[in-house]
């Protein structure tokens, strides 16, 4: 006799369960995942903040037209498919994108998603009266047509290959027009109480402490299996370490290099590198009287022991980088001129440049002028300082007197833009579809080879990806040949994930883009 299937017993069990659930204070245990974030979003209204960690939280609340999947390919999210030439979603000249939206998506207030929301999002991003810091690609859109509720037609004046990259990046979140149209978004309550279509709804935001989000049971991809996600804003490395040591978190985002060894030794956790097209580099002011000499720039490149830095300060998790774009990027070029660590080659180059006399203090001179350089840095991060100190020592071996000037992060861009530097250490990132603001926009390195820059200018209007890659690779070869800047190593995002978190799959879209699919063991 099958006892488990006995109807009387089943009825009794069901009755008991019903009574228990009806008792006050009795509820089924809620599953919760805690995510540690070193920084807190300033606002959760999409497009007003460029902080990567803000985008991470926004991925829980909002959705994008497309996202970047684990293989680096675009995946549809609010769209039914990724528009291509083959499926007719992209016009032959690459100037028009037709996007079909899913018909089962609802905003958290129950209203359906429509193509008008896509048009409204474009209008917000390009609104001159709003402090939106990045309008790249969207500002080149001529019109967004909405022939029906499920179709948005995005038209550019000319070929534009960057649209998919932008629509799958940090500028991807779609806004609800039915809630925001006509309102002044400068100081709208939506900044603190956002309504999205995403897998979680924001239930509580305790400033400086945490954001608590509950599963959206009506999510179009099915209700998330984890009932609640808490994003804790730790504010620093020590609090993150303590929480991890106590096993209080399922995921810790963006650990510093200094935390790497600590994290590698944590039981029950694994260090996971989130992909990012970002890299550490030394900027060079190519207009500087001393550094405008390519021989001096090449000497600096030869005098920099990249292996030493990646093995020590960077904990051996990255390899030295020689090309402008990191190896993770599809347009990376393996075939650029490299500058292996070679003191003799560096010394010969400096001799050739006229810096051939060494003074009693060990510093080279030319016509009585000492070979001195200043390295600009953003103060506050131990690892940055360590890298610069190693470079300082290595270049000192060549007879270069290098000093360090530290300023705060907010002052860095304007100091660079003003050309008030010789060398500067920092990181930079590019999109999946690069927009090359580093060269065509800010150009802090004062690179003036117009024929080389023309290679980049043509990229956004070249539909064929291989042709784009060829132009970008050619540009990288020029940059390396002329030692216009000194790439050092990729800058991956270091996250720590608990062993009992399943489904965690960081991509270029971030770490939380697929939180709806996470499960806890």
Partner 1 sequence: MLSYAVRRTLGAVPRVLLVSVLLFLLLRLPAGGPADVFASDPTASPEAIARIEALWGLDRPLHEQYLTWLGNLARGDWGTSFSERRPAREVVLERLGNTLWLTGGALAVGLIAGVALGVATALSRSRAARAALQLLSVVGMSVPTFWSGTLVLLYFGVHLNWIPSGGMGRVGEAFSLPDLAHHLIAPAIVLGSVYVAQWSRFVHAGLEEALREDYVRTARAKGVRRLPRLFRHAFPNAAIPLVTVLGLELPRLVSGAMVTEVVFSWPGLGRLLTTSLLGRDYPVVMAALMLLVALVIVANLLTDLAYGLLDPRVRYG
Q: Which of 35, 45, 82, 300 binds partner 1 (CB under 8 A)?
A: 45
Structure tokens at 506: 């960081």
> Is the separation of the CB atoms in 452 and 310 below 8 Å?
no
Per CB under 8 A, the segment of 76-84, 324-332, 401-409, 453-461 that binds partner 1 is 401-409
If one asks whether residue 410 binds partner 1 (CB under 8 A), the answer comes out as yes
Q: Which of 150, 155, 178, 191 binds partner 1 (CB under 8 A)?
A: 191
> Is the separation of the CB atoms in 494 and 315 below 8 Å?
no
If one asks whether residue 419 binds partner 1 (CB under 8 A), the answer comes out as no
3-state secondary structure of 405: strand
Per CB under 8 A, the segment of 14-22, 150-158, 290-298, 420-428 that binds partner 1 is 420-428
If one asks whether residue 437 binds partner 1 (CB under 8 A), the answer comes out as yes
- Per DSSP, the residues of 406-466 read EE-GGGHHHHHHTT--SEEEEEEE--SS---IIIIII-TT----HHHHHHHHTGGG---HH
Residue 207: CB minimum distance to partner 1, A: 5
3-state secondary structure 13-54: HHHHHHHHHHCCCCCCCCCEEEEEECCCCCCCCCCCCCCHHH
The continuous run of DSSP H or E covering 98 comes out as strand 96-100
By CB under 8 A, what part of segment 313-342 binds partner 1?
none
Pattern 149-178, binding to partner 1, x per CB under 8 A?
A: -----------------x----x-------
- Per DSSP, the residues of 229-289 read EEEEE--SHHHHHHHHHTT--SEEEEE-GGGHHHHHT-TTEEEEEEP-SEEEEEEE-TTST
By CB under 8 A, what part of segment 490-519 binds partner 1?
none
Pick 38 or 176: Cβ nearer partner 1: 38
Q: What is the largest CA-CA distance in the chain?
A: 104
Site size with partner 1, rule: CB under 8 A = 71
Residue 187: CB minimum distance to partner 1, A: 5
Q: Which of 48, 74, 120, 279 binds partner 1 (CB under 8 A)?
A: 48
3-state secondary structure of 321: coil
By CB under 8 A, what part of segment 266-295 binds partner 1?
none
**CA distances from residue 91 to 66, 75, 85 in whole angstroms, order as listed:** 18, 19, 6
Residue 30: CB minimum distance to partner 1, A: 9
Per CB under 8 A, the segment of 64-72, 287-295, 436-444, 496-504 that binds partner 1 is 436-444
Q: Where are the alpha helices (DSSP H) in 87-162?
A: 115-125
If one asks whether residue 204 binds partner 1 (CB under 8 A), the answer comes out as yes
By CB under 8 A, what part of segment 246-265 binds partner 1?
246, 248
Task: Give the C-alpha separation, 357 to 448, whole Å.
Answer: 31
Residue 217: CB minimum distance to partner 1, A: 18
Task: Give the C-alpha separation, 341 to 427, whole Å.
Answer: 21
By CB under 8 A, what part of segment 355-394 binds partner 1?
none
Per CB under 8 A, the segment of 102-110, 143-151, 200-208, 359-367 that binds partner 1 is 200-208
If one asks whether residue 28 binds partner 1 (CB under 8 A), the answer comes out as no
Pattern 95-134, binding to partner 1, x per CB under 8 A?
A: ---------------------------------xxxxxxx
By CB under 8 A, what part of segment 438-477 binds partner 1?
438, 441-442
Task: Give the C-alpha separation, 99 to 91, whole Å.
Answer: 12
């Amino acid at each position: 006799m099958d006892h488990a299937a006995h109807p009387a017993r089943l009825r009794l069990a069901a009755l008991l369960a019903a009574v228990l659930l009806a008792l006050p204070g009795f509820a089924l245990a809620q599953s919760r995942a805690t995510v540690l974030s070193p920084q807190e979003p300033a606002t959760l209204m999409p497009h007003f903040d460029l902080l990567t960690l803000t985008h991470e939280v926004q991925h829980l609340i909002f959705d994008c037209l497309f996202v970047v999947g684990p293989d680096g390919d675009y995946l549809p999210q609010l769209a039914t498919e990724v528009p291509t030439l083959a499926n007719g979603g992209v016009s032959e000249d690459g100037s028009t994108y037709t996007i079909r939206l899913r018909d089962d998506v609802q905003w958290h207030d129950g209203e359906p998603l429509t193509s008008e929301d896509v048009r409204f999002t474009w209008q917000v991003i390009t609104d001159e009266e709003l402090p939106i810091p990045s309008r790249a690609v969207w500002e080149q859109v001529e019109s967004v047509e909405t022939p029906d509720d499920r179709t948005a037609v995005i038209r550019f004046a000319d070929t534009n290959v960057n649209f998919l990259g932008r629509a799958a990046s940090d500028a991807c979140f779609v806004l609800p027009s039915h809630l925001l149209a006509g309102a002044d978004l400068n100081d709208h309550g939506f900044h603190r109480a956002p309504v999205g279509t995403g897998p979680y709804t924001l239930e509580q935001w305790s400033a400086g402490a945490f954001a608590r989000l509950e599963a959206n049971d009506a999510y179009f991809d099915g209700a998330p299996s984890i009932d609640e996600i808490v994003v804790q804003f730790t504010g620093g490395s020590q609090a993150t370490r303590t929480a991890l040591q106590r096993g209080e978190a399922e995921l810790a985002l963006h650990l510093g290099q200094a935390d790497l060894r600590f994290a590698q030794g944590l039981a029950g956790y694994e260090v996971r590198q989130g992909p990012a097209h970002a890299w550490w580099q030394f900027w060079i002011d190519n207009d500087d009287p001393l550094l405008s000499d390519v021989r001096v720039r090449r000497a600096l490149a030869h005098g920099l022991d990249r292996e030493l830095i990646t093995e020590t300060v960077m904990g051996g998790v990255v390899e030295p980088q020689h090309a402008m774009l990191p190896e993770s990027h599809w347009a990376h070029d393996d075939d650029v001129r490299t500058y292996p660590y070679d003191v003799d080659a560096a010394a010969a180059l400096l001799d050739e440049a006229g810096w051939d006399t060494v003074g009693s203090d060990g510093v080279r001179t030319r016509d009585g002028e000492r070979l001195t350089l200043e390295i600009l840095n953003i103060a506050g991060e131990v690892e940055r300082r360590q890298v610069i100190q190693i470079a300082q020592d290595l270049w000192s071996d060549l007879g270069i007197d290098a000093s360090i000037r530290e300023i705060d992060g907010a002052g860095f861009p304007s100091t660079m833009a003003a050309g008030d530097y010789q060398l500067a250490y920092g990181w930079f990132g590019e999109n999946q579809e690069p927009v090359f603001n580093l060269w065509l926009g800010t150009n802090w390195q004062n690179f003036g080879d117009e024929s080389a820059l023309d290679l980049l200018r043509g990229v956004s209007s070249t539909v064929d990806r291989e042709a784009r890659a060829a132009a970008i690779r050619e540009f990288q070869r020029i940059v390396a040949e002329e030692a216009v800047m000194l790439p050092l190593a990729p800058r991956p995002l270091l996250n720590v994930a608990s062993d009992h978190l399943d489904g965690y799959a960081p991509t270029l879209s971030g770490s939380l883009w697929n939180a709806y699919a996470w499960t806890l063991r």
